[in-house]
Every structure is written in C-alpha cells, then in structure tokens.
Amino acid sequence: MATSALSPAQPPAQPPAQPMLVNASRFRAAHAAEWERLERLVTRIEKRSIKALGDDDLLALPLLYRSALSSLSVARETSLDRSLVVYLEQLCTRAYFQLYGVPTLALSQLRRFFVHGWPAAMQALWRETLASFLLTVAAGIVGYVLVRGDPSWFFGIVGDGLAQGRDPSASAETLRQTLYGKHSDMLATFAAYLFTHNAQIAIFAFALGFAFAVPTVLLIVYNGLMLGAFMAVFVPKGLGYNFTGWIMIHGTTELFAIIIAGAAGFRIGTAIAFPGRQSRSDSAVQAGRTGATAMGGAVVMLAIAGLLEGIGRQIVLDDLSRYGIGLTMLVAWLLYFYLPRSRNGVVQA
Amino acid sequence: MAWFRRNREAKRPKGPLSLRRTFVTPEGVDLQIELGGAGVRAAAFMIDAFAMLILLIIATIVIALLFVASKETSLAILWLIGFFVLRNGWFTLFEMGGRGATPGKRVMGLRVVARDGARLTGGAVITRNAMREIEVFLPLSFLAAQSAQGLADSFLTIFALCWSGIFLFFPLFNRDRLRIGDLLAGTWVVRTVRGELGSDLAVPIERERRVFSEAALGLYGVYELQTLEEVLRSGREDAIATVAATIRRKAGLADDPDDREFLSDYYAALCARLERGLMVGRRRADKFG
C-alpha cells in the first residue's frame, strides 16, 4: 500500500471522478435547512421581538436550537471545516441569548418588582436599613446639639443656598411663614426638581457604596446633620411641633428612601470589604442586585415624596393632617416592606 | 524540534483569541463566546453619549420654544423629568429591553449578558448603570459645578481626572474587560456576530479532481488545512499563488496552470484524508504532528 500510494497514477479505492465526498459536506447537506430556518427565526426575533413569530415557528424554535447545538458538538468533533464550526457557534450563541438571556417582558418584570422583588430586597437589607436609620438619628442629634450650642455651626452644615433665610437669626414669624406660606405657581416644578435632585443623590449613595461604603456613610451623616440643624433653628422659636409636621408629610417617605439608598450602599460596601465565605465577586454580585432593587424602590418612593412635598404640603396646611398623612405613609411603607409573605406574594399569618 | 513546537503552541492562543470565554449552556455545550474589547465598548459608549447629547439639545430647544410661545412654567417639569429619565434611563431601559443593548452597543455588535448565563434581570441592569454615575457622571458634574463657581483649580481637576481614569481604565486591568458596574452586576458584554455559512470547499464538483499521493497529503495537519481554508475563502490571488507554489515545491509536484483549482482540489483531498484519520482517532494537529 505504501509503495503504490507514492505514485500519483494509482488512484485510491474510490471511483476517481468524485473521490472526496467528505463528512463535512454530507453533514452540511443533511442539516443546512434546519440551520437556515433557525437563523431566519433568530434574525426575525432580533429585528423585532419574539412576538414576530407564529405558533409553528415558536414551537419549532427550541427544537431547532437543540439540533443546532448538537450539530455544533458533532461538527467540533468530526469536521475540519472551520467556517462550519464558526458559523454554528455564532448561530447557537445568538439563539441561546434569544431563548435564555432575554429579560422577561417589562410589564411582568414591573409586577414582579412590586409584588416580590422590592419587599424581598428590603427584608434582606433590614440590618443595613437599621444601621442607616440609627446613623441618621445620631447625626441629627449631633447636628441639633451643635447648632443649639453655637448657632454659627448652622452655616457650616447647611449653607446659604438651602437655608433660604431659615437660619438661627430669623424671627419666629419669618420661620412660621416658611412652614405655611404658599409658593403656589412654581409648586409642581418644585416637586419635580426635588424628585430629580433627591433621586440622583439616592443613586449616588448606592453607587458610592462601592468605595467600602465610606462616602455613603458621609452622605447619610450629612443628611442627618442638616435635619438636626434645621430642628435647632425651629425648636427654640417654639415651632418644633409645626416644623415636625412640615417635615413629616413628605419626610417619612423621603427620609426613609434616603435611608434605604444608604442601606443599599452599605450592603455593597460591606459585601466587598467582608465577603465572608463567598468569593469577593460572588458576594459583590449578590449585594449589587439586592441593593439595586432596593435603590430602584427608593427612587419610586422619592417620586411619591416629591408629589407629597410639592403639592400635598402646599395644600395641606393643618398640622394634624400633615402628621396624619406622614404617619399613614410610614405605616404603609413598613407594612408593605416587612409584613411576612410567601414567595409568590401571598401574605401569611 | 521539540522546543520549536512548544514555542508555537505557546503562541497560538494569544492575540484575538484571548477574549474567547467558556460559556456552557444548560444543554452542556460550550458556546465559546467572544467578549467585547475595550475599544469597541468605548466606541459604543461614545455613540450613546453623543446620541444622548443630541437628544438633550433638541429637547431643550423644543421646550424653550414652547415656553416662549406659551409662558407655561410647568414646562420646566417636562425638562427636569426628561433630563432625569434620559440620564438614568437611556442605558437601563435599552438594556432591559429584549436586545440587551443600547443603540450604541447595537451598532457595534455588542450585548449585555449575565455572566452565569441566566436571564438578565432588571436588578443587574440597574446596578451596572447606577455605577456609571460614579464612573462617568460624578467627576463630570463635579468638574462642571466647580468650574461654574470658578473654583476648579488644578488640584481638583487632576483629582477628578484621576478618579475617572481609575474607573475608565478599569476594564483594561482585568481579563474579562469588566467595568465596575459589570463586576457588581454580574454581567459582561459579549460580541454578537452574525456570520454567514461559507460555501462548502470540499463539495463534489462536475470536473475531475486532481489526485494526490499519500506523501503529498501527509505533509500537513489540521492547522495547515484551516489556514488553507482561510486563504481560499479570502480569494486573494497573490496569497493563493504563493501557497500553491509552496505546496507544489514541498510535495514535489509539477507546475499547474490553475492555482485556485489546484488548491481547492488539494484542500478537498487533505480534508478527506484528515477526516478519515479522525474517524479512527488519529487527530493530526499540524505539520509537526
């Protein structure tokens, strides 16, 4: 055999006209139609959406995908045609992401978020939320004590832009005016401004958690200090009760939201600093997703707080109603977040 | 000869192959996905940023014109909310959609995928894009605010640039090209390539194929076969002529007037021979094997 093979004149055993029908060619001929159909379907989904497929195609899609996958396995083992293997790899990858990787529809995602995702994230974050809350309270007390001790601290903490005349030197009457006065025409615009501003802060508080939560702590502390400083301006003038009502109507929602954003940041920071038994990246991923869910919820809360502040506070001038609305919101949030429930959202006793 | 071979082995996985990653589907097949490179992703981001800027400018002009016409102060709400949604929603909403990609990423052929191969969740998308706030927008708005107040001294500028630099170049310092956002969200950005199935080079044809001796076919292995495939598909006449001449010289074959036909016949014959080897468990990796 070896000697005869050396001579080109002597052909191998196969008929000389078509001696080299290789495996890859037969394989292509047998399956090309399926691959082409899969490719057409995937292209159509990529161009529009899964809804662009009819029932037949929808049923065929997973089957075609599996057969393309097995084609890929076979081709890798038996075929030397690189373009075939590369083509099948790309086709299977595209099909995979259309079948497994696509997020569920926006509406059902939204429903899941409100029914399950958000409360679950909040329950997972209860320790961080508590820490964030205590930090706010502590900073508030510090701010209060500082400004009561030395009113010049106020300008160090709050700054002129935000104070708008509400500083320790203002008279009781001016201060009362700020609590009940009307800023009627710009009211809704003001609400929108507050919302976008606070929401941006919340997103920062979450994202900055990445730096081992240090900037988030600073943000939360600063928020508490400001609250305490304002308190220290109003309380000595006998307006403590009124000011609390003014804050309460939107504050139970807004401050809660900022505390949550802080908690989300803490979660990320601590997950990176102290990953525990998990790998650092696994722990970060888990914390990132839980935190992001809670932070997304905080943005929703801030939108509600913006409405309450911009509109509710200007319309509701009665202290008792302000307290009522604020406390109702607080209780509603607490019930929504922490009421025990099963996975599918049914409340359990 | 051994040292030479090892050298070649060591070299091959480098270069463009280094962004390929194992990605096993639930069916147990490794899809070997390709990650988006830093340059492509930067380009995608620039496209998105440019689109956002254009959109912002157009919307601002429209709202300003409406305001001049109607004196309606509540138009400011539209702008405020619109700006917020544009800044925070552009990336998030597009990536939450079915394509998992912003317009910029689509243009560059990229998509965002969960690293574990599972469905891309809203939480993951929000995470990876909330991090963009501190990667890009924070130093930018910080600088803008400071320079608006005339406070942007060189120290602050340098600080902001360093800050952004750390985050912007972060993808270059890890092998999976992850941004901080990707790291936290458990996502990565992969290339979505749409390849055509090239024609079958070894398909039976009308005319009679050249027949090669075992010695002529025994020269090469799989690596050379696939290089030959590339040369044939590229269709470059000079490359084909060079390769054909080399093969003829090595195999000691006579000159042939048609290089392309000669090569495609040689390809088909070599392919058939190597495949027969595969069937009986003899994979010949390259000409040294």
Comparing A182 with B107, which gets the higher pLDDT? B107
Q: Counting beta carbons within 10 angstroms of the beta carbon of residue B230, is it exposed (0 to 12), middle (13 to 18) or buried (19 or more)?
A: exposed
Chain B: give the shortest CA distance to residue A182, in Å: 17
Residue to test with chain A: of B197, B212, B266, most A Cβ within 10 A: B197
Amino acid at A248: M
Name the residue facing B275 among A22, A103, A208 (closest C-beta): A22
H helix or E strand, kind and range, residue B113 = strand B110-114
pLDDT at residue B64 above 80?
yes
The most confident of the ranges B59-63, B228-232, B258-262 is: B59-63
Name the residue facing A189 among B74, B184, B194 (closest C-beta): B74
Q: How high is the pLDDT of residue A275?
A: 85
Q: How high is the pLDDT of residue A346?
A: 47
Q: Considering only alpha carbons, which residue of chain A is nearest residue B178?
A: A281
A–B interface: beta-carbon pairs under 8 A: 235
Determine the 3-state secondary structure of A133 from DSSP.
helix
User: For chain A, what is the radius of gyration of the CA atoms?
Assistant: 32
User: Span B176-200, mean pLDDT?
Assistant: 84
Name the residue facing A89 among B32, B215, B271 (closest C-beta): B32
Q: How high is the pLDDT of residue B117?
A: 80
Inter-chain CB proximity B229 and A5 less than 8 Å = no
Residue to test with chain B: of A184, A194, A203, A290, most B Cβ within 10 A: A203
Q: Considering only alpha carbons, which residue of chain A is nearest residue B268?
A: A20
Q: How high is the pLDDT of residue B289?
A: 67
Inter-chain CB proximity B118 and A100 less than 8 Å = yes
Inter-chain CB proximity B124 and A288 less than 8 Å = yes
Inter-chain CB proximity A189 and B73 less than 8 Å = yes
User: Span B145-159, mean pLDDT?
Assistant: 65
How much of chain B, in percent, has pLDDT values that exceed 70? 86
How much of chain A, in percent, has pLDDT values that exceed 70? 86
User: Is residue A8 very low, low, confident or very high in pLDDT (cuts 50, 70, 90)?
Assistant: very low
Residue to test with chain A: of B21, B25, B270, most A Cβ within 10 A: B25
Inter-chain CB proximity B197 and A200 less than 8 Å = no
User: Is residue A183 very low, low, confident or very high in pLDDT (cuts 50, 70, 90)?
Assistant: low
Comparing A71 with B257, which gets the higher pLDDT? A71
Let me know: does B95 contact B112? Beta carbons within 8 Å: yes
Q: How high is the pLDDT of residue A9?
A: 47
User: Span A132-146, mean pLDDT?
Assistant: 94
Q: How high is the pLDDT of residue A5?
A: 43
**Average predicted confidence (pLDDT) for chain B:** 80
Inter-chain CB proximity A288 and B77 less than 8 Å = no
User: Is residue A16 very low, low, confident or very high in pLDDT (cuts 50, 70, 90)?
Assistant: very low
Inter-chain CB proximity A186 and B31 less than 8 Å = no
Structure-token pair, residue A1 = 């055999």
Nearest-angstrom CA–CA distance, A175 and A165: 8
Residue B72's closest CA among A33, A189, A141, A43? Answer: A189
Nearest-angstrom CA–CA distance, A51 and A134: 50
pLDDT at residue B59 above 80?
yes
Comparing A120 with B1, which gets the higher pLDDT? A120
Q: What is the pLDDT of residues B93-106, one digit of tens each?
A: 888 877 788 999 99
Inter-chain CB proximity B113 and A72 less than 8 Å = no
Q: What is the pLDDT of residues B40-58, one digit of tens each?
A: 998 999 999 999 999 999 9
Inter-chain CB proximity A200 and B204 less than 8 Å = no
Inter-chain CB proximity B225 and A80 less than 8 Å = yes
Inter-chain CB proximity A100 and B130 less than 8 Å = no
Judged by average pLDDT, the poorest of A72-86, A216-230, B11-25 is B11-25
Nearest-angstrom CA–CA distance, B124 and B100: 11
Inter-chain CB proximity B97 and A23 less than 8 Å = no
Nearest-angstrom CA–CA distance, A156 and A153: 5
How much of chain B, in percent, has pLDDT values that exceed 90? 12
Chain A: give the shortest CA distance to residue B68, in Å: 17
Inter-chain CB proximity A80 and B275 less than 8 Å = yes
Let me know: does A229 contact A144? Beta carbons within 8 Å: yes
Name the residue facing A296 among B126, B133, B185 (closest C-beta): B126
Inter-chain CB proximity B202 and A81 less than 8 Å = yes
Inter-chain CB proximity A28 and B226 less than 8 Å = no
Q: What is the pLDDT of residues A309-322, one digit of tens each?
A: 877 877 888 888 88
Name the residue facing A20 among B31, B126, B269 (closest C-beta): B269
Q: How high is the pLDDT of residue B48?
A: 94
Chain B: give the shortest CA distance to residue A165, in Å: 22
H helix or E strand, kind and range, residue B191 = strand B187-191
How many CA atoms does the CB half-sphere of B1 hold within 13 Å? 3
**Average predicted confidence (pLDDT) for chain A:** 83
Name the residue facing B120 among A86, A103, A296 (closest C-beta): A103
Nearest-angstrom CA–CA distance, A203 and A56: 45
pLDDT at residue B69 above 80?
yes
Q: What is the pLDDT of residues A153-177, one digit of tens each?
A: 888 787 666 667 777 778 888 888 7
Q: Measured on CA atoms in the order B43, B44, B45, B47, is the torsion positive or negative? A: positive
Inter-chain CB proximity A18 and B204 less than 8 Å = yes
pLDDT at residue B262 above 60?
yes
User: Span A205-209, mean pLDDT?
Assistant: 87
Report the C-alpha dihedral over residues A186, A187, A188, A191, rounded to 10 degrees.
110
Q: How high is the pLDDT of residue A214?
A: 86
Inter-chain CB proximity A188 and B229 less than 8 Å = no
Q: How high is the pLDDT of residue B16?
A: 47
Report in angstroms the alpha-carbon separations of B15 from B19, B21, B171: 9, 14, 17
Nearest-angstrom CA–CA distance, B57 and B63: 10
Name the residue facing B25 among A78, A96, A204 (closest C-beta): A96
User: Is residue B230 very low, low, confident or very high in pLDDT (cuts 50, 70, 90)?
Assistant: confident
Inter-chain CB proximity A189 and B180 less than 8 Å = no
Residue to test with chain B: of A31, A83, A311, most B Cβ within 10 A: A83
The maximal CA–CA distance of chain B, rounded, in angstroms, is 90
Q: How high is the pLDDT of residue A143?
A: 92
Chain B: give the shortest CA distance to residue A99, in Å: 9
> A212: Cβ–Cβ under 8 A, 6 or more apart, which residues?
A269, A272, A273
Name the residue facing B81 among A8, A186, A196 (closest C-beta): A196
Q: What is the pLDDT of residues B27-38, one digit of tens each?
A: 888 888 888 888
Name the residue facing B215 among A6, A90, A103 (closest C-beta): A6
Rounded to two decimals, the ipTM of the complex is: 0.80
Question: Contacts of residue B111 in chain A, CB cutoff 8 Å?
Answer: 97
User: Span A1-28, mean pLDDT?
Assistant: 54
How many CA atoms does the CB half-sphere of A69 hold within 13 Å? 21
How many CA atoms does the CB half-sphere of B46 hold within 13 Å? 7
Question: B237-251 and B222-234 are packed helices; what angle lies between their axes, rounded to 10 degrees?
Answer: 150
pLDDT at residue A18 above 80?
no
Q: How high is the pLDDT of residue B152?
A: 52
Comparing A151 with B5, which gets the higher pLDDT? A151
Nearest-angstrom CA–CA distance, B57 and B82: 12
State in Å, rounded, how far the first CA of chain A is from the last one: 85
| DSSP H helices in A48-105 | 55-78, 82-96
Q: How high is the pLDDT of residue B249?
A: 82
Comparing B275 with A346, which gets the higher pLDDT? B275
